[in-house]
Amino acid sequence: MLRLPSFTYHQPRSLAEALRMKADAGPDGMYVAGGTDLYPNMKRRHQEPRVVISLMGIPELQATEGRNDGTGMTTVGTGLTLTQLSVLPSFRRSYEAVAHAAALVSTPLLRNMGTLGGNLCLDTRCNYYNQSYEWRKAIDFCMKKDGAICWVAPSSPRCWAVSSSDIAPVMVAIGGEYRLVGPGGERVVPAGRFYHNDGINYLTKQPDEILVDVRLPAADGWDAVYHKLRRRGSFDFPVLGVAAWIQWNGKTVADARIVLGGVASWPQEVPEAGAALKDAVLSDAAIERAAEAAYRPSKPLDNTDFELSWRKQMTRVYVTRALEELRARRATA
């Protein structure tokens, strides 16, 4: 059985207190929310904080009610569990793709503990990394932790571990914004700029910044869906996620975004796929063009489940299914 190393656990009651504790701990400190990603990682010695600072007692992160701050945006605290997020009436009504992606994460037990914030900051994953310390030691580790080489692409100077969050692609697709609070004050970043395409430095967030809440654009003439491919439908991480967003103008697509999860170190927007739909009626031909455009840059590597060329083929299939669902919903709206 893998054991947690010993560490000091703090439970701050305010953002200011949490930031102070993190400043005191320095690089030895890490934030934790539900712990469903961090604690398994600590057991495998991927992350080795000596001080763990819980964010779950901070009221701002627990805000469930969207507040209209004049922009029409809905705000939701990042401390909400995935279960809470999947059943919030306002979300099921206006942000169904977010609620659906949350409901597709793992198992009920993990959704009861795991939070929105932890999901959006989830560590990247790889077959050569998500292993015990002894397993990784047997292959002399890899550059993401303790080693020098990338076993997926040995001549590569970078790590290709994949973004495996189910909700992050949806946030990028619908144009969500994240509010971060750090020692220097607060800032709001578009979801698309929160992620780096790098398996090691996968977030643009500073280690001491706290993701406090997420702002979602007013549900105004747009629709979005999320489709997920995984081995076991009741449990697994995505090996492919497709988030599709359309701004409608009557029956015409005024604007569109297609974002892929599980194929790169960040939620990968494919602008060519969105452009293939713009100003078009969502016909079979338009859907085929967009699916083809998403298929081309989708380059899964040999670092997650399934055969990689099959995963690439599935991009075309899943984008088609997502757009067909959006078309069917529009027809009955």
Ligand X SMILES: Cc1cc2nc3c(=O)[nH]c(=O)nc-3n(C[C@H](O)[C@H](O)[C@H](O)COP(=O)(O)OP(=O)(O)OC[C@H]3O[C@@H](n4cnc5c(N)ncnc54)[C@H](O)[C@@H]3O)c2cc1C
Q: Which residues bind ligand X (CB under 6 A)?
A: 30-38, 40, 55, 78, 82, 105-106, 110, 113-115, 117-119, 121-122, 164-166, 210-211, 236-237
CB 264, min distance to ligand SF4, A? 11
* Window 271 to 310, contacts with ligand SF4 (CB under 6 A): 303
Contacted entry of ligand X, ligand SF4, none for residue 35, CB cut-off 5 to 8 Å set by kind? ligand X
Contacted entry of ligand SF4, ligand X, none for residue 115, CB cut-off 5 to 8 Å set by kind? ligand X
Q: x-or-dash pattern for ligand SF4, window 235-254, by CB under 6 A?
A: --------------------
Output the CA angle 326-106-202, nearest 5 degrees: 80
Cα dihedral 136, 141, 145, 146 sign:
positive
* Window 89 to 148, contacts with ligand SF4 (CB under 6 A): 126, 128-129, 142-144
In degrees and rounded to multiples of 5, residue 94 shows phi and psi of -110, -20
Contacted entry of ligand X, ligand SF4, none for residue 29, CB cut-off 5 to 8 Å set by kind? none
CB 189, min distance to ligand X, A? 13
User: Residue 62 gets which letter from DSSP?
Assistant: G
Coil, strand or helix: which one is 191?
A: helix
Query: How many whole angstroms from its chain centre is CA 222?
Result: 21
Which is closer to ligand X, CB of 176 or CB of 274?
176
Structure token pair of residue 61: 């992160």
Residue type, 140: D
Rounded to whole angstroms, the Cα distance separating 22 from 276 reads 46
Q: In the chain, count of helices (H) and strands (E)?
A: 12, 11
Which is closer to ligand SF4, CB of 143 or CB of 216?
143
Q: Of these, 18, 33, 85, 152, which contacts ligand SF4 (CB under 6 A)?
A: 152
Contacted entry of ligand SF4, ligand X, none for residue 37, CB cut-off 5 to 8 Å set by kind? ligand X
* Window 161 to 180, contacts with ligand SF4 (CB under 6 A): 161
Burial class for 211, CB neighbours closer than 10 Å (0-12, 13-18, 19+): buried
Contact between 128 and 147 under an 8 Å Cβ cutoff? The reply is no
- Please list the alpha-helical segments (H only) found in the chain: 15-25, 38-43, 82-87, 89-94, 96-103, 108-113, 116-120, 133-138, 167-174, 271-275, 284-295, 308-332
Q: x-or-dash pattern for ligand SF4, window 187-226, by CB under 6 A?
A: ------------x---------------------------
Coil, strand or helix: which one is 271?
A: helix
Which is closer to ligand SF4, CB of 128 or CB of 178?
128
Contacted entry of ligand SF4, ligand X, none for residue 150, CB cut-off 5 to 8 Å set by kind? ligand SF4
Q: What is the binding site for ligand SF4 (CB under 6 A)?
A: 126, 128-129, 142-144, 150-152, 159-161, 199, 303
